[in-house]
Amino acid sequence: MSTESRVELTLRAIVLGVLLTIVFTAANVYFGLKAGLTFSTSIPAVVISMALLRWLGNTSAQENNIVQTVASTAGTLSSIIFVLPGFIMIGWWNGFPYWQSVAICAAGGILGVMYSIPLRRALVTDSDLPYPEGTACAEVIKVGSGDVADKDSVESGGMGLKAVLLGSWVSALFLVLVQTRLFLGDVAHSFRLGQDSKAPVTGFDFQLSFALFGIGHLVGISCGIAMFVGALIGWGGGVPHYSALHAAAGDAGALAGATWSHYVRYLGAGAIAVSAIWTLMKLVKPVIGGLQSAMASSRVRKAGKGDTLARTELDIPVNQVGLVALLCILPICWLLWNFATSAGLGEHALLLTAGGIFIVVVVGFLVSTVCGYMAGLIGASNSPLSGIGILVVATTALFLVVTVKSALPPEMGKALVAYSLFVTAVVFNVAAIANNNLQDLKTGQLVESTPSKQQWALVIGVVASALVIPPVLDLVNKAYGFAGAPGATAHALPAPQAGLISALAQAVIQNDPEKWHLMGWGALIGAIIIAFDWLLSKTTRSMRMPPLAVGLGIYLPTASTLMVTVGAVVGWWFDRRAGRTARPESTKQLGVLLASGLIVGESVLAVVFTALVAFTNNQFPIGVVGDSFATASEWLAGGAFALVVYWLYRRIARSLPA
């Protein structure tokens, strides 16, 4: 039994973890709304942590693990952006009420931590699940902390931190030039497919964003190409088709945008829905089988043990787990009751609160188990959380239809949609945190951390992230708004999953035939892509067409997809070139850290500019040129972007000594 004293849950680790959580949360919220994707913050947090704590001295692998455990919530709790903007989209909220939003995030997130604790032994300690992200993070910690003698470590000379900082500075500087309008931020063109004034329309918007480029590198070639295929389906087929069915004269760009918003988005929603459900269905058998074998193994191991456990087996005591869970459930009860009464559903508040709590407690635990297993099987970032959201909102909406809808006037339909989103938001936090926590605990197991200290660290991270998310959402809403929301501007962010989940709730409760029709066609497209992906899996070694990514490509505007595809292709090319170097894995890892830096730098500065836009009511608060410079700035920006990408990857590839 290990009893040695280690530097682990320290004040400086918590402070550093909280600071990284704040930065990465802001970045993830902004680009999650923009691109429909969030990025894992564990490895970038570890790289930064190791550099800073090594400089301070007297650190350990376990202390670095605490930092990444706290900071990992930035990539996890930020997933609530897949639900909360739905309140704006349906016109229920005008902004995000701070303490109510914080309570939703914090109570649901902490409950997710508590739910994952009894699953640790079954799904981590006594399981053969690979936990790809947790294992990779553990290797970085061990190598960077000197626990593994590896001459190829990217932490030799701080190269990993330098890669993150290089990407951050470059992407931030480029964004500044875009905000001055010396560089054009996006190349957008719309046109008619014919000479007639009412001919079908289409277009594209190629956004010059290093953050989107970095996301493309991280998601990989299969996902990037799949999103491009989705964009072709949406803008090469859907927009021309529906603009022809609803022919109108006038500006081609406005018509293309309206067609995408009113019709094509729902095709994408249907494709995402069927793809997410299919992904979950594929995991039902391994989830059940894996849990049965893991539980059986756990019982056998436990029967042969005494009352004492090694430090590396110490979880938060079960009585404390129960108390904290109860302290989360009580405010959730109050939130549900208060929401029901303030929404005009006071006569049914008791029934709605009881039903909502049942969904949160029971369904929440079930999805925590499923998400924990999925995280171990395919990684937390790849788990189809949108599928969980779809199932929960559908379950909640059907509960409302069966129990109270018939007793309410038709105009209360929006209140029921809002209530279903509210319950879904809480459960979504539970699922997202459970999805992440077990990945962190796997990292902790591999670096011999104390589980209970990690679990308390994650609670701290949840609270820190919950405090940051609402004001960032408010800033983004005031500056840009969300696509499909009342009064949304041309610069509105798409927030694809929130749009999907709110559209599904509306379709179930309001029984909207047009939306069902469009989502049905989208589901058919998704089914075809699923079949094609299955065919590829049987006939090729590595080529795949992830159905969820295709659905996202249909649903998102091209401003959010085309650059992701470019980043995926360049990242694939870089990895192939890295494979021919003397140190292939280290070179590839530097590429990942560079991509993470590109996302962080632009995203964090974008939040600053979002605040300026909101406060000045000016889309370009530091602009120095006008529209007359647009053509020149387009060529300047495109040329500079290509040259900088080439320089960055060439520099990174040559930064490691032979």
Burial class (CB in 10 A: 0-12, 13-18, 19+), 128: exposed
List, in order, residues 6 or more apart from 484 with CB less than 8 Å away.
Answer: 89, 261, 265, 492, 499
Distance CA 267, CA 341 (A): 35
- What is the DSSP pairing of strand 201-207 with strand 186-192? antiparallel
First to last CA, the chain: 41
466 alpha-carbon distance from chain centroid = 15
List, in order, residues 6 or more apart from 155 with CB less than 8 Å away.
Answer: 47, 50, 51, 140, 143, 144, 161
SS (H, E, C) 140-202: HHHHHCCCCCCCCCCCHHHHHHHHHHHHHHHHHHHHHHHHHCCCCCEEEEEEECCCCCCCCEE
3-state SS, residue 392: helix
Backbone angles phi, psi at 473, to 5 degrees: -60, -40
What is the predicted pLDDT for the residue at 1? 37
Distance CA 16, CA 39 (A): 19
Closest listed residue to residue 400, CA positions, set 491, 339, 482: 339
What is the predicted pLDDT for the residue at 149? 46
| Cβ count within 10 A of residue 631 | 10
Distance CA 473, CA 105 (A): 13
What is the predicted pLDDT for the residue at 567? 92
- What token pair was written down for 295? 């539980």
232 alpha-carbon distance from chain centroid = 23
DSSP codes of every residue in 290-354: HHHHHHHHHHHHHHT--S---GGG-PSPHHHHHHHHHHHHHHHHHHHHHHHHHTT-GGGHHHHHH
List, in order, residues 6 or more apart from 469 with CB less than 8 Å away.
Answer: 25, 29, 77, 78, 80, 81, 84, 101, 102, 105
- Cα distances (Å, whole numbers) of residue 47 to 59, 154, 363, 487: 14, 9, 36, 42
Distance CA 595, CA 578 (A): 15
Distance CA 396, CA 371 (A): 19
Stretches where the chain sits below pLDDT 70 are 1-6, 31, 34-40, 75, 121-122, 125-133, 135-136, 139-140, 142-158, 279-280, 283-313, 373-387, 487-490, 603, 607, 610, 614-615, 617, 656-658
493: which DSSP letter? Answer: B
| Cβ count within 10 A of residue 526 | 28
CB 30 within 8 A of CB 36: no
Distance CA 461, CA 21 (A): 7
119: which DSSP letter? Answer: T
Closest listed residue to residue 427, CA positions, set 384, 390, 378: 390
What is the predicted pLDDT for the residue at 233? 94
Strands (E), 55-119: none
Amino acid, res. 444: G
pTM: 0.73
3-state SS, residue 37: coil
- What token pair was written down for 484? 């499909």
Amino acid, res. 327: L
What is the predicted pLDDT for the residue at 380? 57
Burial class (CB in 10 A: 0-12, 13-18, 19+), 154: buried
Distance CA 22, CA 467 (A): 9
Distance CA 413, CA 508 (A): 10
| Cβ count within 10 A of residue 413 | 18
User: Rg of the Cα trace of the chain?
Assistant: 24
Closest listed residue to residue 550, CA positions, set 31, 27, 36: 36
CB 439 within 8 A of CB 379: yes
- What token pair was written down for 237? 């087929």
3-state SS, residue 597: helix
What is the predicted pLDDT for the residue at 642? 93
Distance CA 16, CA 290 (A): 36
Burial class (CB in 10 A: 0-12, 13-18, 19+), 617: exposed
Q: Is 247 left (phi over 0), alpha (psi -120 to 50) or beta?
A: beta
